[in-house]
Structure 1
């Protein structure tokens, strides 16, 4: 843990002094973005960015606890928190997306509630909790909408199909919307259209610097290494662990379109993807022996992260 905290400080301290743009976040990105844009003058940018990094650190610790507690790894370690920190550092602009960082714990909590269904004697409680957390995540940050279909797939992995449970999950998702709309109606602030996502059209990136290609290439190599090791680990895993992994990976796959839709939220979606992607990539460092290859790969990853951070700081990324 001390080494993890030291790594977090070294990787993230530079983002507290990140440059500020106006508006800071997409105006149609959800209630959090709207509130932060309208109240940005009340806070110092360094405080907001620092608060986001604290939220990220809390999320990586929470993610490590959930994956270890759900038997997704053969032993307890801090590889998932470390991988989440390194993945987010590979894409530096995701570290200043405060709305996404603040709803990242809701994503992890949704996954924790769904995976609790495997041995739960009272499944309705976990289902409604997962629905409320995911619905709240969407209200606060609209790109979270891509997580919602993954919740239903996760429910299908954990429980035999029962229409009543699927309806209960949907009702849980709609509960935060109901209370927010009711409050707005009663206080004469009725603006239901502001809670609808604006998808727009896909806008492919046209100019990617060599810093960007370096980060993307490193992430793909790391992902392939983690996936290959994960396949070997799942052969010896109990069925509960495999179902948990399938649920998490499906949630991650459903989140991929959010990199392009809604427009301008690529950084925020990368921040959310740090949990499913970081969990899978952590398998690249899991093995029965202590291989020199893993150590060299780790330091190569740290070097690429340092280069990416320098490119972002100088405006070249």
Structure 2
């Protein structure tokens, strides 16, 4: 199966669909009705309220939406990676890795604001990766700031991804103050229009849309399944680091910078859930896309075929076992 995903065949989309359904079959048998958390943005609250009447009657709509989001994110992110030539040839390995990774935690099988945001963040990363030697950098940084601002309407702490824009400006562009100002203007623009609408509608209460921020260390009830999932995330990531270091001098400068940007993306995604944290792994799905890129690098460059097979089947066996184990625990 890995051999198929190493190609750029459209048939892989069907395989991704099969993976998505099989690896999340518990979510389809026992649909989870999402509940917005205090840290979620106002737009996500309204989205769930919009879905609620239909979701109450047909709750399977939620896992279907999740599957559509995951497959669309997997395919679009893979296209971005292929366009940036982060791998020597076009493959569907990042898509396969993303579907596997998003099946590791039961919280990642559920609809959440962070899952929706992944669609936008993949686009932001693609825009920022194009900054190097781009003739119209101001358009890109404005759009990136704008999209990040929109993500905060769904999950407010995601506004911290503006740091990814700043890193891209530092690493890919000579210093130009106007580009930094334009990035900040892009970040502020959606809030400008939001507050303008509120003021004109006579509903001026901006603090409702600007939640307070706090940073603290979440306290989780780690079980064996969570630890195994974390190990499965980390091992291919560490292996990819070895291969990237070995090949880094062979990479084009833009490719090197794009990998650096993915690493920064991952670091920010790992840290953001510490802001207004919830005691679950729900918001750490933000790190799934950058992890998928590194896992794909491992799948592509691993010299021993048995390593690929072992990693791949460990994922499959663990996820299927988790699907079978959950009903026994939840009764």
| CA distance in structure 2 between the partners assigned to 1:127 and 1:204 by the alignment | 33
Give the secondary-structure state (helix, strand or coil) at the position aligned to 1:161: coil
Check conservation: 1:259, 1:265, Cα contact below 8 A: no
Mean Cα displacement is larger for which, 224-233 or 99-108? 224-233
Residue in 1 that maps onto 2:271: 257
Shift of 1:136: 0.7
CA deviation digits over 1:198-255, x for unaligned, max 9?
Answer: 4345243242111111112222222212222232232321111000111111121122
For 2:201 and 2:94, how far apart are their aligned partners in 1?
44
- Which position in structure 1 is the counterpart of 2:24? 12
Q: Which runs of 5+ in 2 are unaligned?
A: 1-11
Please state whether the residue corresponding to 2:102 is helix, strand or coil: helix
Instruction: Give SS of 1:117's match.
Output: coil
The Cα shift of 1:64 comes to 0.2
- Cα separation, 1, equivalents of 2:295 and 2:181: 34
- Compute the displacement of 1:288 (Å): 7.3
Q: Against the structure 1 CA distance between its residues 159 and 18, is the aligned structure 2 distance closer, same or farther, given a 3 Å change threshold? A: farther
Corresponding position: 1:173 with 2:180 = no
**TM-score normalized with structure 2 length:** 0.87
Q: Determine if the alignment matches structure 1 residue 185 to structure 2 residue 199.
A: yes
Tell me which moved more, 80-89 or 293-302: 293-302
8 Å contact 1:95–1:271 — kept in the other structure?
A: no
Q: In 1, are the aligned partners of 2:93 and 2:299 still within 8 Å (CA)?
A: yes
Aligned match of 1:25 in 29, 32, 36? 36
Return the alpha-carbon distance in structure 2 between the equivalents of residues 168 and 135 of structure 1.
Answer: 13
Residue in structure 1 matched with residue 6 of structure 2 by the alignment: none
Report Cα offsets for 1:24-70 as digits up to 9, x if no partner: 12033102332145445322132133112201210110000001101
- TM-score normalised over the length of structure 1: 0.91
Q: How does 1:105-184 map to 2 (within 5 A)?
A: 105-184=119-198
- 1:89 aligns to what SS in structure 2? coil
Cα distance between partner residues in 2 of 1:151 and 1:302: 35
1: CA distance, partners of 2:204 / 2:45: 15
Unaligned runs of 5+ in 1: none
**Closer, same or farther: CA 235–99 of 1 in aligned 2, 3 Å:** same
- Closer/same/farther in 2, CA of residues 132 and 312 from structure 1, 3 Å limit: farther
